[in-house]
Structure 1
Amino acid sequence: MNDRHAHTLPARYFVDLYASNPDPWRFTSSDYEREKYAATLHSLPQARYARALEVGCSIGVFTRELGERCADLVALDIAPSAIEAARARCVDRPQIDFVVGAVPEVWPEGHFDLIVLSEVLYFLDRDDLVRLVKRVERSLMPGGDCVLVHWTGETDYPLAGDEAVEGFVSGASSFCRPLAQWRHEQYRLDVLRSGHEAG
Protein backbone atom coordinates (compact mmCIF):
# COMPACT_ATOMS: atom_id res chain seq x y z
CA MET A 1 0.00 0.00 0.00
CA ASN A 2 1.31 3.45 -0.91
CA ASP A 3 1.78 6.15 1.72
CA ARG A 4 -1.11 8.55 1.36
CA HIS A 5 -0.80 12.30 1.01
CA ALA A 6 -1.74 13.76 4.38
CA HIS A 7 -3.46 16.88 3.05
CA THR A 8 -5.57 18.05 0.11
CA LEU A 9 -3.51 17.88 -3.06
CA PRO A 10 -2.33 21.39 -4.03
CA ALA A 11 -2.89 23.10 -7.36
CA ARG A 12 0.78 22.58 -8.27
CA TYR A 13 0.26 18.79 -8.24
CA PHE A 14 -2.29 19.08 -11.06
CA VAL A 15 -0.52 21.87 -12.95
CA ASP A 16 2.63 19.74 -13.10
CA LEU A 17 0.62 16.67 -14.07
CA TYR A 18 -0.94 18.41 -17.08
CA ALA A 19 2.40 19.98 -18.01
CA SER A 20 3.91 16.51 -18.36
CA ASN A 21 0.87 15.02 -20.13
CA PRO A 22 -2.11 17.04 -21.49
CA ASP A 23 -4.37 13.99 -20.99
CA PRO A 24 -2.92 12.33 -17.86
CA TRP A 25 -5.89 10.04 -17.22
CA ARG A 26 -6.45 9.15 -20.90
CA PHE A 27 -9.91 10.74 -20.98
CA THR A 28 -9.89 10.76 -24.78
CA SER A 29 -8.80 7.14 -25.29
CA SER A 30 -9.58 5.02 -22.22
CA ASP A 31 -12.30 2.36 -22.41
CA TYR A 32 -12.73 2.79 -18.64
CA GLU A 33 -13.47 6.50 -19.05
CA ARG A 34 -15.79 5.94 -22.02
CA GLU A 35 -17.85 3.34 -20.16
CA LYS A 36 -17.89 5.43 -16.98
CA TYR A 37 -19.14 8.50 -18.88
CA ALA A 38 -21.95 6.49 -20.45
CA ALA A 39 -22.93 5.03 -17.07
CA THR A 40 -22.87 8.47 -15.45
CA LEU A 41 -25.13 9.99 -18.11
CA HIS A 42 -27.45 6.99 -17.85
CA SER A 43 -27.63 7.42 -14.06
CA LEU A 44 -28.94 11.01 -14.21
CA PRO A 45 -32.52 10.91 -12.90
CA GLN A 46 -33.69 13.83 -15.06
CA ALA A 47 -33.57 14.10 -18.83
CA ARG A 48 -32.72 17.82 -18.63
CA TYR A 49 -31.30 20.17 -16.01
CA ALA A 50 -31.68 23.94 -15.82
CA ARG A 51 -28.31 24.76 -14.26
CA ALA A 52 -25.62 22.20 -13.48
CA LEU A 53 -22.13 22.24 -11.96
CA GLU A 54 -19.36 19.82 -12.89
CA VAL A 55 -16.46 19.87 -10.42
CA GLY A 56 -13.22 18.56 -11.86
CA CYS A 57 -14.06 18.90 -15.56
CA SER A 58 -10.44 18.38 -16.67
CA ILE A 59 -10.08 18.69 -20.45
CA GLY A 60 -13.83 18.64 -21.05
CA VAL A 61 -14.46 15.24 -22.62
CA PHE A 62 -17.39 14.44 -20.30
CA THR A 63 -18.29 18.12 -20.05
CA ARG A 64 -19.20 18.21 -23.72
CA GLU A 65 -21.57 15.25 -23.32
CA LEU A 66 -23.08 16.55 -20.08
CA GLY A 67 -23.70 19.93 -21.70
CA GLU A 68 -26.24 18.32 -24.02
CA ARG A 69 -28.43 17.61 -20.96
CA CYS A 70 -28.17 21.11 -19.41
CA ALA A 71 -29.59 24.52 -20.29
CA ASP A 72 -26.60 26.00 -18.43
CA LEU A 73 -23.49 24.21 -17.17
CA VAL A 74 -20.64 25.56 -15.06
CA ALA A 75 -17.50 23.44 -15.41
CA LEU A 76 -14.70 23.92 -12.89
CA ASP A 77 -11.15 22.61 -12.68
CA ILE A 78 -8.03 23.43 -10.70
CA ALA A 79 -5.62 23.41 -13.68
CA PRO A 80 -5.67 26.39 -16.08
CA SER A 81 -4.30 24.32 -18.98
CA ALA A 82 -7.08 21.76 -18.52
CA ILE A 83 -9.69 24.53 -18.60
CA GLU A 84 -8.15 25.93 -21.79
CA ALA A 85 -8.42 22.50 -23.42
CA ALA A 86 -11.98 22.06 -22.17
CA ARG A 87 -13.02 25.46 -23.48
CA ALA A 88 -11.58 24.62 -26.91
CA ARG A 89 -13.30 21.22 -26.93
CA CYS A 90 -16.65 22.81 -26.06
CA VAL A 91 -16.33 25.95 -28.20
CA ASP A 92 -19.63 25.17 -29.92
CA ARG A 93 -21.46 24.77 -26.58
CA PRO A 94 -22.28 28.36 -25.55
CA GLN A 95 -24.30 27.16 -22.55
CA ILE A 96 -21.09 26.01 -20.81
CA ASP A 97 -19.12 28.41 -18.62
CA PHE A 98 -15.66 27.51 -17.34
CA VAL A 99 -14.08 28.41 -14.00
CA VAL A 100 -10.50 27.86 -12.81
CA GLY A 101 -10.23 27.11 -9.11
CA ALA A 102 -9.76 24.61 -6.32
CA VAL A 103 -12.73 23.43 -4.27
CA PRO A 104 -13.80 24.00 -1.59
CA GLU A 105 -12.15 27.48 -1.64
CA VAL A 106 -13.52 28.35 -5.07
CA TRP A 107 -17.21 27.71 -5.66
CA PRO A 108 -19.49 29.29 -8.29
CA GLU A 109 -22.29 31.57 -7.16
CA GLY A 110 -25.94 30.62 -7.34
CA HIS A 111 -27.91 27.42 -7.14
CA PHE A 112 -27.81 24.23 -9.19
CA ASP A 113 -30.27 21.41 -9.83
CA LEU A 114 -27.38 19.05 -10.66
CA ILE A 115 -23.89 18.82 -9.16
CA VAL A 116 -21.47 16.23 -10.54
CA LEU A 117 -18.42 15.31 -8.47
CA SER A 118 -16.53 12.80 -10.58
CA GLU A 119 -13.11 11.53 -9.48
CA VAL A 120 -12.48 14.51 -7.18
CA LEU A 121 -13.49 13.78 -3.57
CA TYR A 122 -10.44 11.66 -2.75
CA PHE A 123 -8.06 14.50 -3.63
CA LEU A 124 -9.35 16.28 -0.49
CA ASP A 125 -8.47 15.65 3.13
CA ARG A 126 -11.25 15.12 5.66
CA ASP A 127 -11.49 18.77 6.70
CA ASP A 128 -11.85 19.98 3.12
CA LEU A 129 -14.37 17.22 2.41
CA VAL A 130 -16.53 18.59 5.24
CA ARG A 131 -16.21 22.10 3.79
CA LEU A 132 -17.17 20.79 0.34
CA VAL A 133 -20.31 19.17 1.73
CA LYS A 134 -21.31 22.56 3.17
CA ARG A 135 -20.77 24.17 -0.25
CA VAL A 136 -23.05 21.59 -1.85
CA GLU A 137 -25.67 22.03 0.87
CA ARG A 138 -25.87 25.77 0.26
CA SER A 139 -26.08 25.53 -3.53
CA LEU A 140 -28.02 22.37 -4.41
CA MET A 141 -31.63 23.26 -5.15
CA PRO A 142 -34.52 21.41 -3.47
CA GLY A 143 -35.09 18.24 -5.44
CA GLY A 144 -31.69 18.67 -7.09
CA ASP A 145 -29.39 15.75 -7.82
CA CYS A 146 -25.79 15.21 -6.73
CA VAL A 147 -23.83 12.53 -8.60
CA LEU A 148 -20.62 11.03 -7.22
CA VAL A 149 -18.36 8.85 -9.41
CA HIS A 150 -15.10 7.52 -8.00
CA TRP A 151 -12.37 5.00 -8.73
CA THR A 152 -12.18 2.41 -5.95
CA GLY A 153 -8.67 1.09 -6.63
CA GLU A 154 -5.53 1.86 -4.66
CA THR A 155 -4.03 5.36 -4.85
CA ASP A 156 -1.82 7.60 -2.74
CA TYR A 157 -4.51 10.30 -2.52
CA PRO A 158 -5.57 11.63 0.91
CA LEU A 159 -8.70 9.44 0.90
CA ALA A 160 -9.60 6.13 -0.72
CA GLY A 161 -12.55 6.16 -3.12
CA ASP A 162 -15.00 4.39 -0.79
CA GLU A 163 -13.77 6.41 2.17
CA ALA A 164 -14.28 9.71 0.35
CA VAL A 165 -17.73 8.87 -0.98
CA GLU A 166 -18.99 7.42 2.27
CA GLY A 167 -17.68 10.49 4.12
CA PHE A 168 -19.55 12.75 1.71
CA VAL A 169 -22.79 10.74 1.89
CA SER A 170 -22.67 10.69 5.68
CA GLY A 171 -21.90 14.41 5.88
CA ALA A 172 -24.73 15.24 3.48
CA SER A 173 -27.31 13.03 5.18
CA SER A 174 -29.10 16.03 6.74
CA PHE A 175 -30.04 17.41 3.31
CA CYS A 176 -29.53 14.63 0.74
CA ARG A 177 -30.85 11.10 0.49
CA PRO A 178 -29.32 8.34 -1.64
CA LEU A 179 -31.43 7.48 -4.68
CA ALA A 180 -29.23 4.82 -6.26
CA GLN A 181 -25.80 3.24 -6.07
CA TRP A 182 -23.92 1.14 -8.58
CA ARG A 183 -20.65 -0.68 -7.98
CA HIS A 184 -18.54 -1.58 -10.98
CA GLU A 185 -15.29 -3.51 -10.98
CA GLN A 186 -13.21 -0.33 -10.86
CA TYR A 187 -15.48 2.45 -9.63
CA ARG A 188 -18.66 3.32 -7.75
CA LEU A 189 -21.47 5.64 -8.83
CA ASP A 190 -23.78 7.21 -6.24
CA VAL A 191 -26.81 9.43 -6.91
CA LEU A 192 -28.17 11.62 -4.12
CA ARG A 193 -31.16 13.98 -4.08
CA SER A 194 -31.61 17.12 -2.05
CA GLY A 195 -34.56 17.04 0.30
CA HIS A 196 -34.63 20.64 1.45
CA GLU A 197 -34.12 24.17 0.25
CA ALA A 198 -30.64 25.43 -0.51
CA GLY A 199 -29.40 28.27 1.68
Structure 2
Amino acid sequence: MTVYKKRQNKTPLYIDNELHEKLDGYKDKLFINEYRLFATIVCDLDLDLKRNNISIDDLPRLYHRDYHVTPKYEVGQYYTNENKIMKVLDMNADSLCVATLYLDSGLLLTNGAIYRDSDIRSATLSEVKIFNRAEQFHKQNRRLNEFEHGDVVRRAQGEPFYFREIHEGEEPTFTLICTKEKRGDL
Protein backbone atom coordinates (compact mmCIF):
# COMPACT_ATOMS: atom_id res chain seq x y z
CA MET A 1 0.00 0.00 0.00
CA THR A 2 1.38 3.36 -1.03
CA VAL A 3 0.99 6.18 1.41
CA TYR A 4 0.92 9.66 -0.07
CA LYS A 5 2.36 12.22 2.27
CA LYS A 6 1.22 15.77 2.33
CA ARG A 7 3.68 17.61 0.11
CA GLN A 8 5.57 20.39 1.79
CA ASN A 9 5.74 23.17 -0.73
CA LYS A 10 6.78 26.69 0.17
CA THR A 11 4.41 28.34 -2.30
CA PRO A 12 0.75 28.14 -1.31
CA LEU A 13 -1.69 26.64 -3.79
CA TYR A 14 -4.77 28.76 -4.52
CA ILE A 15 -7.93 27.54 -6.20
CA ASP A 16 -11.27 29.21 -6.85
CA ASN A 17 -14.44 28.44 -4.93
CA GLU A 18 -16.04 26.63 -7.89
CA LEU A 19 -13.25 24.04 -8.08
CA HIS A 20 -13.22 23.70 -4.29
CA GLU A 21 -16.93 22.84 -4.26
CA LYS A 22 -16.47 20.26 -7.05
CA LEU A 23 -13.55 18.66 -5.20
CA ASP A 24 -15.61 18.52 -2.01
CA GLY A 25 -18.38 16.73 -3.91
CA TYR A 26 -15.97 14.12 -5.23
CA LYS A 27 -14.02 13.80 -1.99
CA ASP A 28 -17.14 12.77 -0.07
CA LYS A 29 -17.54 9.77 -2.42
CA LEU A 30 -14.03 8.47 -1.84
CA PHE A 31 -12.67 6.32 0.95
CA ILE A 32 -9.34 6.92 2.61
CA ASN A 33 -6.28 6.23 0.42
CA GLU A 34 -8.16 6.15 -2.88
CA TYR A 35 -5.78 8.61 -4.45
CA ARG A 36 -5.72 6.90 -7.86
CA LEU A 37 -9.48 7.18 -8.22
CA PHE A 38 -9.27 10.77 -7.06
CA ALA A 39 -6.62 11.52 -9.71
CA THR A 40 -8.90 10.04 -12.40
CA ILE A 41 -11.85 12.15 -11.25
CA VAL A 42 -9.75 15.30 -11.10
CA CYS A 43 -8.54 14.75 -14.67
CA ASP A 44 -12.19 15.09 -15.69
CA LEU A 45 -12.01 18.63 -14.32
CA ASP A 46 -9.41 19.65 -16.89
CA LEU A 47 -10.87 23.10 -17.63
CA ASP A 48 -11.19 23.91 -13.93
CA LEU A 49 -7.58 22.86 -13.38
CA LYS A 50 -6.33 25.00 -16.26
CA ARG A 51 -8.31 27.99 -15.01
CA ASN A 52 -6.59 27.59 -11.62
CA ASN A 53 -3.12 26.85 -13.08
CA ILE A 54 -3.05 23.39 -11.46
CA SER A 55 -0.53 20.87 -12.74
CA ILE A 56 -0.39 17.10 -12.28
CA ASP A 57 2.19 17.66 -9.54
CA ASP A 58 -0.43 19.52 -7.52
CA LEU A 59 -2.92 16.61 -7.38
CA PRO A 60 -1.61 15.27 -4.06
CA ARG A 61 -2.04 18.73 -2.58
CA LEU A 62 -5.64 18.84 -3.83
CA TYR A 63 -6.31 15.38 -2.42
CA HIS A 64 -4.97 16.35 1.01
CA ARG A 65 -6.72 19.72 0.89
CA ASP A 66 -3.40 21.52 1.04
CA TYR A 67 -4.70 24.64 -0.71
CA HIS A 68 -6.35 27.97 -0.07
CA VAL A 69 -9.67 28.97 -1.61
CA THR A 70 -9.58 32.41 -3.22
CA PRO A 71 -12.56 34.58 -2.41
CA LYS A 72 -15.34 34.38 -4.94
CA TYR A 73 -15.41 38.15 -5.32
CA GLU A 74 -12.59 40.65 -5.44
CA VAL A 75 -12.66 44.44 -5.33
CA GLY A 76 -12.06 45.86 -8.79
CA GLN A 77 -13.21 42.70 -10.60
CA TYR A 78 -16.16 42.47 -12.98
CA TYR A 79 -19.10 40.07 -12.70
CA THR A 80 -22.36 39.56 -14.51
CA ASN A 81 -25.84 38.44 -13.52
CA GLU A 82 -28.81 38.20 -15.90
CA ASN A 83 -28.83 41.50 -17.84
CA LYS A 84 -26.35 43.37 -15.61
CA ILE A 85 -22.59 43.85 -15.56
CA MET A 86 -21.12 44.81 -12.20
CA LYS A 87 -17.79 46.06 -10.89
CA VAL A 88 -17.07 45.37 -7.21
CA LEU A 89 -16.20 48.62 -5.43
CA ASP A 90 -16.19 47.36 -1.82
CA MET A 91 -17.14 44.26 0.19
CA ASN A 92 -18.58 43.58 3.63
CA ALA A 93 -19.70 40.43 5.43
CA ASP A 94 -22.92 39.71 3.51
CA SER A 95 -23.06 42.05 0.53
CA LEU A 96 -21.00 43.74 -2.14
CA CYS A 97 -20.99 47.42 -3.05
CA VAL A 98 -21.02 47.52 -6.84
CA ALA A 99 -21.33 49.79 -9.84
CA THR A 100 -24.03 48.22 -12.01
CA LEU A 101 -24.64 48.61 -15.73
CA TYR A 102 -28.17 47.62 -16.76
CA LEU A 103 -27.78 46.37 -20.32
CA ASP A 104 -31.43 46.78 -21.32
CA SER A 105 -31.47 50.52 -20.50
CA GLY A 106 -27.77 51.42 -20.70
CA LEU A 107 -28.03 52.98 -17.23
CA LEU A 108 -24.96 52.85 -14.96
CA LEU A 109 -25.55 53.12 -11.20
CA THR A 110 -22.47 53.56 -9.04
CA ASN A 111 -23.80 52.82 -5.55
CA GLY A 112 -25.66 49.51 -5.77
CA ALA A 113 -25.45 46.54 -3.44
CA ILE A 114 -25.92 42.83 -4.06
CA TYR A 115 -25.90 39.89 -1.70
CA ARG A 116 -23.09 37.36 -1.89
CA ASP A 117 -25.38 34.39 -2.51
CA SER A 118 -26.67 35.83 -5.80
CA ASP A 119 -26.09 33.81 -8.97
CA ILE A 120 -23.09 35.69 -10.34
CA ARG A 121 -20.32 34.67 -12.73
CA SER A 122 -17.13 36.42 -13.80
CA ALA A 123 -17.61 38.82 -16.69
CA THR A 124 -16.03 38.05 -20.05
CA LEU A 125 -13.54 40.41 -21.67
CA SER A 126 -16.21 41.76 -24.04
CA GLU A 127 -18.53 42.46 -21.08
CA VAL A 128 -15.73 44.33 -19.30
CA LYS A 129 -15.20 46.45 -22.43
CA ILE A 130 -18.92 47.29 -22.53
CA PHE A 131 -18.81 48.28 -18.85
CA ASN A 132 -15.75 50.50 -19.40
CA ARG A 133 -17.52 52.15 -22.34
CA ALA A 134 -20.56 52.78 -20.13
CA GLU A 135 -18.29 54.40 -17.51
CA GLN A 136 -17.01 56.85 -20.13
CA PHE A 137 -20.58 57.79 -21.07
CA HIS A 138 -21.53 58.03 -17.37
CA LYS A 139 -18.77 60.61 -16.84
CA GLN A 140 -20.53 62.72 -19.48
CA ASN A 141 -23.94 62.22 -17.75
CA ARG A 142 -25.11 59.95 -20.55
CA ARG A 143 -26.40 56.40 -20.78
CA LEU A 144 -24.43 53.81 -22.70
CA ASN A 145 -24.33 54.70 -26.43
CA GLU A 146 -26.45 57.82 -25.87
CA PHE A 147 -25.42 60.26 -28.59
CA GLU A 148 -27.08 63.60 -29.25
CA HIS A 149 -27.14 65.78 -32.34
CA GLY A 150 -24.02 67.98 -32.22
CA ASP A 151 -21.75 65.68 -30.17
CA VAL A 152 -18.22 65.29 -31.45
CA VAL A 153 -17.65 61.58 -32.18
CA ARG A 154 -15.17 59.41 -34.05
CA ARG A 155 -15.58 56.06 -35.76
CA ALA A 156 -13.13 53.27 -34.88
CA GLN A 157 -10.90 54.54 -37.67
CA GLY A 158 -11.29 58.06 -38.86
CA GLU A 159 -11.44 61.74 -38.13
CA PRO A 160 -13.74 63.33 -35.54
CA PHE A 161 -17.04 64.69 -36.85
CA TYR A 162 -20.26 66.21 -35.55
CA PHE A 163 -22.87 63.60 -34.76
CA ARG A 164 -26.18 63.93 -36.63
CA GLU A 165 -27.97 60.59 -36.58
CA ILE A 166 -27.24 56.96 -35.98
CA HIS A 167 -28.03 53.92 -38.03
CA GLU A 168 -28.95 50.65 -36.36
CA GLY A 169 -25.92 48.68 -35.16
CA GLU A 170 -23.53 51.57 -35.69
CA GLU A 171 -23.33 53.01 -32.15
CA PRO A 172 -20.63 50.63 -30.78
CA THR A 173 -18.25 51.85 -33.50
CA PHE A 174 -18.45 55.48 -32.33
CA THR A 175 -16.29 56.99 -29.62
CA LEU A 176 -17.71 60.02 -27.80
CA ILE A 177 -15.03 62.73 -27.93
CA CYS A 178 -16.99 65.69 -26.59
CA THR A 179 -20.64 66.25 -25.74
CA LYS A 180 -22.48 69.11 -27.40
CA GLU A 181 -22.88 70.75 -23.98
CA LYS A 182 -19.08 70.98 -23.55
CA ARG A 183 -18.25 72.16 -27.03
CA GLY A 184 -16.85 75.67 -27.08
CA ASP A 185 -18.01 76.57 -30.56
CA LEU A 186 -21.77 76.64 -29.94
Q: TM-score, normalised by structure 1?
A: 0.20
* Higher helix content, 1 or 2: 1
More relative contact order in 1 or in 2 (CA 8 Å, sep 6+)?
A: 1
